[in-house]
Amino acid sequence: MQQANKYVILPIFVGAIVLLISFTLLVVVGRSPYTHANLNVGFDPSYTRTVQTLVGAAIPVPANGLAVPASSDPVEHGKQLFVSNGCAFCHGLNGQGGIIGPSIAGTQASKLRSKTSVGPQGMPAYAPGALTDADLAAIAAYLNATNK
């Protein structure tokens, strides 16, 4: 009889341990700051488990790209245009080449015009009028000034 009780108690004990661990994991995951139920719209002073980071409301990007204020310095304006029109994503911040795009350091405005209007070797072509000659001249001034 003693032997039979031993075989009954062991599965009950193991089952209780499994239930306890399962319940604990559910509580931990449910209280995690990374679950959607815990995304607050404001700072919660009672929450102290991890650092709180608030992300603001989505800001739509205008249809014409990022608005770039005109700078009186052509090199600075060229840098603003280079970044805001997405050139830096492929060609690197200084135009010296990136993961995708080759180096365009020292490129003249006329060559930039031919490349942006055609879009060679996987580069997307810019819509007509998206980059004016003045914009391309400013970008060329930036590329030439930063890569001497």
* 3-class state of residue 45 by DSSP: coil
What pLDDT is attached to residue 36? 53
Q: What is the mean pLDDT of each run of 10 residues along the chain (148 residues)?
A: 67 91 84 59 72 58 55 86 87 87 90 85 80 91 84
Which amino acid would we find at residue 88? A
Residue 89 and residue 48 share a domain: no
What pLDDT is attached to residue 146? 77
* 3-class state of residue 112 by DSSP: helix
CA 97 to each of CA 77, 102, 122, 144: distance values in angstroms, whole numbers, following the listed order: 20, 4, 15, 14
What CATH number is attached to the domain comprising 91?
A: 1.10.760.10
The domain tally of the chain equals 2
Which amino acid would we find at residue 111? K
Residue 99 and residue 38 share a domain: no
Domain extent for 99: 74-146
CA 90 to each of CA 29, 31, 95: distance values in angstroms, whole numbers, following the listed order: 39, 41, 9
Residue 79 and residue 42 share a domain: no
What pLDDT is attached to residue 16? 92
Rounded to an integer, what distance in angstroms lies between the CA atom of residue 81 and that of residue 49? 43
Domain endpoint, select from 10, 32, 57: 57
Residue 87 and residue 50 share a domain: no
